[in-house]
Every structure is written in structure tokens, then in C-alpha cells.
Structure 1
Amino acid sequence: MHKLDKPIRLPESTRVERVIPKNKIYEASSVNAAVTTQFVAQLEQIKWANKLSAKTLNIEPSNAVPEIQVFELKLKGDVVDEKVLAAIDKAIPFPILFKLIRELDNDKTAEAESARREVQYVATYKRQSQADNSKWVTSFYAYSDWLIEQHDVAKTAQTESWRALPPAISMGELYRGILSLLLPYPLANGESLESAMQRIENIEKTERECYRLQKRLNAEKQFNRKVELNRNLRALQQELAALKTV
């Protein structure tokens, strides 16, 4: 289960609330026609919602993480392709926390006191390239579960319906805290984000290899061959357990 079980309420000091035209993203990331079609079909709106920085949060700056942008993506359907997320990440030279939004059927009468929607947070570990500081390198995308977000008319949502940003004294620490809420496996004490991303990628690769080997083992008829496959599978399972141990 993911650590993030409630929507995040961001400080008012970080608010931007600026709609970004889709064509600006197309131009900046040089997407092809297929991805442009996905933007149109899947996204109702792109909004630059918040800017998390040393200044807006009154915490220590970080050269590696100068700012974290929060982009709200209002979906037309239920999903957005990762090629769309990657295009936005390519266009924006800062780490991004995406907040995907899909509307629920709400009571639209004048008497309705609240509106509910589902939100999902998505991010990739994004860092400047060591070979070229003008370029950014990304890893895989990590997702929260879909969460119910409720807004009342007076904007006085119950505190228990939200959570705050992870506590942090610097932008680097905040970025680590945000990603740790989304990653499928916990970070080890003192483990760098780069090392953690590689370890998680290795976990997922080894899990796929275990699944493939288990299928071969189940289908094998020869006893000697089954013994060999089982030995290989147990070695992989031990390797997987070691990767997951933190």
C-alpha cells in the first residue's frame, strides 16, 4: 500500500493557478502528431497550480532541486498516457509533481454544499544530466492510488481529509519526501534517490524474470530440467528478497 492515503493540501504561499495552453507544451517538447492527439483526447486542461521553492516554503534552497512544480491535469477520461507526462516533463526544466484529476458525478443543485473528485499523484525522479546541466534525466513514473478529494463551498475542508507536505528543512529533503510517498518500495536510510530508483527498477526486472521462470517451470515435463529451473528460480527469489530488504 502506498504511504499517500490522502490528498495533499499545499500552502497558500505556493499558489500559482495558471492555465498552460497545450500548444506551448507541444512547441517546447517537439512532440509528434500521435502524442499531440493524445493531449487533445485525454486532457481537458493543464494548470500550473503551485510552485514549491525555498522562497514560497521558507526552507533551505538546493542546487539539485531549485523548485518543484505542481501541475494539475484535468482528465477527459480515466487515464493519461505516460508519453503525455513525459512531454510535459521535457518542456519544464524542473521536477514536477503531477496531480491527475477526474471528476465524479456531483450534485449540481444550488443546495449542494460540497463537490467530490478523484485525484492521483504522479512523479518521476528528475535530475540534471551530469554531462549537460541544461538537460534533465528522468526515471520511471511512480503513482499514488486514486484518492477522493472533497471541497466544500466555504473551502474549509476537514483537516482529517487532507495531509500536509512531508516535513523538510530543504528543497532536496522535500523532494525525497514527496517521492517516497509515491514509490512502491521504501527508501533505505541514507539511500540516495538515484540509487533507490535503480534498485526499484532492478526489483521490477527481477520480478518479471521470476514470473517468466515460474511459467517455464510449471510447463516443464522433464524432471532434471525442472530441478535446474527450480534452482534458478530460488536464486532469483533470493536476489529479489535482498533487493527489497532495506
Structure 2
Amino acid sequence: MSNNPLSLPESTIVDCNVPKNAFYKRESGSRKNALRNFLTDSVEEIRWLYKLHPSTLHLAVGTQVEEIDIFLCTLKEAPYDTEWLRRMDALMPRPSLFLIAYEGCIDLLIFPRSRNAQGAMVQTGRMEQQIDVDLKKSPISIVGYSMDAVYGNLLGQLSQLGTNTVEEYLAKADLRDQIHTLRKKCDTLRRKMRKEPQYNRQCEIRRQVRQLEKEIERVEDLL
């Protein structure tokens, strides 16, 4: 694989091997051994591909994001457990984007972060993932005049929500999750309605479904 698979500016390329213990040495207790086993058994190699930083992108310093690191994780086998990748990301001091290489495929994963009251960058919300991307089509781009804008835009690209700031991403991601929850409730009610033998109860459940469908339409209009 090229040392610039995402076709990012040459100034951002690091392309160096990262020892696996750089991740699991940050862990503690029983989880340290579990993470070490995952990295040993499932991961062939980890490379630090890019450093997105004001000094490498010639952008303004962000108030939320100082740096974004991009790693390539080459796996020994698939499928893979994204929860271990989530743990690896949580142990790092800065936001990270992961390229996951397996069986000729490349996935992109990012675990959204925002600053908490203590000023630490903590994971916020669910993982954003794109499966089997075509690197020849340059799946991500650097957009924005500051690191905050670059990060917000990356979240918008990976989630396909089209956001430009972290705040916009978090707001839209929340609406997306609301829609997902409402649709699950609709599916549950429809299954219940099909099994309900009493007509009057069927009518009541159908009314509840219609109410949820209207709520889904309302939230979708906000997305």
C-alpha cells in the first residue's frame, strides 16, 4: 500500500510503525492483558500514517482539537471486534481515524470526541464507519481553516451527515439516533400488531404506529 493511501498533503505523512505496546501499556488491570491478546492475535501491524496538525496543514490552532492522528491497522483475519478498536482510541490523548485493512478491503472508522468539563477529549456518541472504501476515489478530504473545522468536517464525511463543526455533528447525530430509536419502536409495534388477535387492539396499535411515523417525519425534516 502507498504511504499516502488517502492522498493527503505530503506534509502530513508520517508512515512509521507503531509498537503494539504503545497502546496496551496505557491500559490497566485485566483489560491490559485482554487488549494485548487482541493486538497479538488479531493485528498484523499498526502504522501511524498521518499527523494532522497546524504545523503540517498550515492551519489555525483549534480550541477543541489540537491534532488528529490517522493509523493503518492491518488485521490477520476478519471479522474484527470494533470494541477493541474503541478501547484503543479511548486510550489515546487525541482524536484518531483508523484505516482497517483486511482481506483486500479497507474500512474507515472514527470514534467521535469532544471536550468534557475537565478539558479532556472524550469519546462522544457511537462509532462512525465506512465499509470497504475505494481509496482511489480519495474517500476523505481536508476541509476548513482550523483544526476544529477539519475535525468537524471529517466527522461529517465519515457519518455522511455533511456537518462542518463538532457541534453540528453532535446535533445531527442525536437526530439520527432518535430516528433509529423511533423506527425500532415502529417495527416492534408492527410485529405485535400482526400477532394480535383482537381487532380493536390491532386498531389501537396501528394508531400508535401512525403517531410514531409522523414523529419520524418531523425529526427527519430537522436532519
Q: What interval of TM-score do these two structures reach, taking the shorter chain for normalisation?
A: 0.7 to 0.9
Name 1:20's counterpart in structure 2: 18
CA contact (8 A) 1:9 1:163 kept: no
Aligned to 1:8, the other structure's residue is in SS state: coil
Residue 127 (structure 1) aligned to one of 107, 114, 133: 114
State the one-letter code of the partner of 2:106.
Answer: V
Identity of aligned residues (%): 25
Instruction: Supply the distance in 2 between the matched residues of 1:236 and 1:184 (Cα, whole angstroms).
Output: 25
**Residue 164 of structure 1, CA deviation:** 5.7
Q: 1:214 to 1:73 in 2, by over 3 A?
A: same
**Residue 25 of structure 1, CA deviation:** 1.1
Unaligned runs of 5+ in 2: none
Deviations 1:50-107 (A, max 9, x none): 1111211111221101111101111112232122111211221111111111243xxx
1:169 paired to 2:167: no
Residue 138 (structure 1) aligned to one of 107, 111, 124: 124
State the one-letter code of the partner of 1:195.
Answer: A
Instruction: Supply the distance in 2 between the matched residues of 1:189 and 1:54 (Cα, whole angstroms).
Output: 17
Aligned to 2:50, the other structure's residue is in SS state: strand
Moved over 4 A (4+): 184-191
CA root-mean-square deviation: 2.4
Unaligned runs of 5+ in 1: 1-6, 105-117, 151-160
Name 1:57's counterpart in structure 2: 57
State the one-letter code of the partner of 2:15.
Answer: E
Instruction: Supply the distance in 2 between the matched residues of 1:119 and 1:190 (Cα, whole angstroms).
Output: 25
CA contact (8 A) 1:16 1:49 kept: yes
Name 2:187's counterpart in structure 1: 211
| Greater share of residues in helix | 2
Q: How is 1:187-202 mapped onto 2 (pairs within 5 angstroms)?
A: 187=163, 192-202=168-178
- Of stretches 211-220 and 195-204 in structure 1, the one that deviates more from structure 2 is 195-204
Q: 1:148 to 1:135 in 2, by over 3 A?
A: closer
Please report the TM-score for the alignment, with normalisation by the length of structure 2: 0.85
- Of stretches 71-80 and 60-69 in structure 1, the one that deviates more from structure 2 is 71-80
Instruction: Supply the distance in 1 between the matched residues of 2:32 and 2:196 (Cα, whole angstroms).
Output: 45
CA contact (8 A) 1:29 1:90 kept: no
State the one-letter code of the partner of 1:197.
Answer: A
**Residue 26 of structure 1, CA deviation:** 1.3
Q: How is 1:24-103 mapped onto 2 (pairs within 5 angstroms)?
A: 24-30=22-28, 31-103=31-103
Residue 133 (structure 2) aligned to one of 144, 147, 156: 147
Aligned to 1:192, the other structure's residue is in SS state: helix
**Residue 166 of structure 1, CA deviation:** 4.0
Instruction: Supply the distance in 2 between the matched residues of 1:48 and 1:40 (Cα, whole angstroms).
Output: 18
Instruction: Supply the distance in 2 between the matched residues of 1:54 and 1:169 (Cα, whole angstroms).
Output: 10
CA contact (8 A) 1:52 1:68 kept: yes
- Of stretches 169-178 and 31-40 in structure 1, the one that deviates more from structure 2 is 31-40
Aligned to 2:111, the other structure's residue is in SS state: strand
Instruction: Supply the distance in 2 between the matched residues of 1:50 and 1:148 (Cα, whole angstroms).
Output: 18
CA contact (8 A) 1:70 1:97 kept: yes
The alignment of Structure 1 onto Structure 2 pairs a total of residues equal to 216
| Greater share of residues in strand | 1
**Residue 188 of structure 1, CA deviation:** 9.3
Please report the TM-score for the alignment, with normalisation by the length of structure 1: 0.78
1:237 paired to 2:213: yes
CA contact (8 A) 1:8 1:163 kept: yes
